[in-house]
Amino acid sequence: MLLSRIPGVPLWLSASVISACNAMVFGLDTGTIGSVTTMSSFTETFGSLSPTLHGVVVSSILLPGAVTALVTGILADRYGRTRMIAIGSTIFGVGAALETGASWLAMFIVGRLLKGVGEGLFLSTVYVHVCEISPARIRGVMASVVQFLITLGIVTGFFMCYGTSRLEGSLSWRLPIAIQASIAFANSAACALLPQSPRWLQARGRPEDAKKIIDQLGLEEEEKAELLSQSSSTLAHSPNVPFLQSLKETAHEFREAFSAPFRGRTIFGCFLMGMQQFSGIDGVLYYAPILLQQAGIASEHATFLASGVSALVIMVTTIPATLFADAWGRKTSTLVGGVLISILMLLMGSLYAAGAVHPTEGAARWVVIVCIYLFAGVYSVTWAIGFRAFLIESLPRKTRSSAASLGQSSNWLANFVVALTTPVFIATSSFGAYYFFAFCTMFCTLVSAVFMFETKGRTLESIEKRYAEKQAKRSTGRWKLFSRGFRIQRIEGNSS
C-alpha cells in the first residue's frame, strides 16, 4: 500500500522524510552508547569494564557496518531501495532488542554487531532513495534532511539517557536501547508505505509501475519525462546479472579505482574520509560523558546533560552549515576548519599536560568544556559537510560509485579505531588523545593545502577535465624526462 497523499504536501516530500527517519536510529545509537556504558546501573549488570573492553563494546558496531556497506549497492540495485532499508532497519531492531535483554556482555556485543549490519544496509540506501524520488532543484536540501535527522537522533539519545539515568535498576540503561528497537521496527513497517524508486522499477522491466509512481510523486513535467527515459543501464549494478557476478564486477571496480589514472584521487578520497574521524569527532560523541567528567563535571546526571548540550550544538550548527555549504567552498572550509580544530585540540591537550585542569576549581576546566562545544560546532560547519561533498565531486564518473564506497568504508574503519582506542588514551594520559587528534588534523590540513583544489561551483565535467589536463601534463613531463635521458644515453653510446 502506497503512502497516501497528504493535502498540500507532495508525495516526494512526505516519503523522503519517512525514509530519512530510518537514519535517525543511527544517531540514537551514537548518542546513547557512550552514556549507557558509563551508567552505574550498566556496571552493576555487567561488571566494571576496562578501558580496552569499553572501547571494544562501543566500537563493535562499526566493523560489520564497514563490511556490509561495500555490498549494499549491489543488494539495493537487485532487491530495491525500500526493501533494503526495511531489512536493514529490522536487523538493527533485532540487534537493539538483544542489547535490551542482554544479561551478559557477550550477548550485548552480539546485539551491537547485528546493529552494525543493519546500519550498513540502510544508511547509504536511505540517501540513495531520497535523492532518487526528490526533485532535482531541491535534491541537495532533501539529502541534508537525512543528516539533520541523524544529528536529531544524537541529541535525543543524550537527553534520553539524561532522563532515564534517574530510574532505578537496569531499566535506566535498557530503556533508551529498547526505544531504539521500537523506532527501528516502526521504521521498517513504514517502509511498506513508501514509493519504490522509479529508476529501479524501470530497470526491473516495470515501466507501468514506474509511470504510476512518477505521476504520484508530484514532480514537474520535464523531470517526469526524464525519469521515464531511464533504463537498466543507469544502475551501477544491473539487477538482471547473477549476484556472484555482481560481486566479481564490484571487486573489479575496486581494483580499477586503484589503477592509473584514478589511483591518486581514490587514495586521497579515502585519506580525507579516514582523517575526518581522526579529528576526534566520534571520540567526543561516544565518550562525551567521560571527557566532561574528566574536565570536572562530577555528577553522572550533569555529565549526561552537558553531553546533550554538545550534541545540541552540532544539530543547531548543522542547519546553517547545510544551507550555506556552497558559500565558501570545500578547500576553504577544510583549511579553516583544520586550523581551528587543531588549535582547540592543542589548547585542551596543553592545559591537561601543564596540570592546569582541576576537577573542583580554576578556570582551565571551563576552558576545556567550552572548547569541546566549540570543536563540535566548528567540525559540523566545516569538515562534516565539505569532505563528503568534495569526495563525490572529485571522483571520476567511471569509478565514482566504487571509490565512494571505499571512502565510506575507510571512514567507518577510522571510526572503529577512534572508538576502540579513545578510552585507552583517556585512561593512560589526560592529554594524549587531544594531542593525537590535533596532530592528525594538522597533518590532514597540510596535505589538503597541497593536493586539494576548489570544486565549488564547478560542474562534474569541468572537474574531470581539470584532472585529465593535470594528468596529461604529468605524463608529458615524464616522457620529456625519459626522452632526454634516452638521448644522453645515445650520445654516450656513440662517443664510445
pLDDT given at position 479: 43
Lookup: cell for 116: 552494525
At position 156, the amino acid (one-letter code) is T
Domain boundaries, the chain: 1-240, 254-456
Strands, E, within 415-489: which ranges?
Answer: none
Q: What is the largest CA-CA distance in the chain?
A: 94
Contact criterion met (CB below 8 Å) for 434 and 63: no
Cα 190 from Cα 21, distance rounded (Å) = 10
Listing DSSP states for 55-112 in one string gives HHHHHTTHHHHHHHHHHHHHHHHHH-HHHHHHHHHHHHHHHHHHHHH-SSHHHHHHHH
Contact criterion met (CB below 8 Å) for 16 and 22: no
pLDDT given at position 237: 67
Cα 277 from Cα 419, distance rounded (Å) = 10
pLDDT given at position 8: 67
Handedness of CA 375, 377, 380, 382 (dihedral sign): negative
Indicate if 254-456 has the same CATH topology as 1-240. yes
pLDDT given at position 93: 97
Cα 460 from Cα 175, distance rounded (Å) = 47
Contact criterion met (CB below 8 Å) for 16 and 142: yes
Listing DSSP states for 361-395 in one string gives SSSHHHHHHHHHHHHHHHHHHTHHHHHHHHHHHHS
What is the average pLDDT value for the chain, to the nearest integer? Answer: 82
Q: What is the CATH number of domain 254-456?
A: 1.20.1250.20
pLDDT given at position 401: 63
pLDDT given at position 222: 67
Alpha helix positions (H), 7-61: 11-36, 40-46, 51-59
> Looking at beta carbons, which pairs linking 391-395 to residues 24 or more positions away fall under 8 Å?
391/269, 391/272, 391/273, 393/330, 393/455, 393/458, 393/460, 393/463, 394/265, 394/268, 394/269, 394/455, 394/463, 394/467, 395/265, 395/266, 395/269
Which segments in the chain show pLDDT lower than 70? 1-8, 136, 139-140, 220-239, 298-301, 322, 325-326, 397-401, 457-461, 471-496
Q: What is the CATH number of domain 1-240?
A: 1.20.1250.20
Distances (CA, A) of 378 to 12, 189, 317, 449, 479: 32, 37, 8, 18, 45
- Helix, strand or coil for residue 6? strand
Distance in Å from the first CA to the final CA of the chain = 87
Cα 12 from Cα 132, distance rounded (Å) = 10
Contact criterion met (CB below 8 Å) for 374 and 311: no
pLDDT given at position 59: 92
Note the pTM of the prediction, 2 decimals: 0.80
Instruction: Go through 152-185 and write b for each residue having 16 or more CB atoms within 10 A of its CB, e for each that does not.
Output: bbbbbbbbbbbebbeeeebebbbbbbbbbbebbb
Measuring CA to CA, which residue among 272, 278, 269, 257 is closest to residue 420?
278
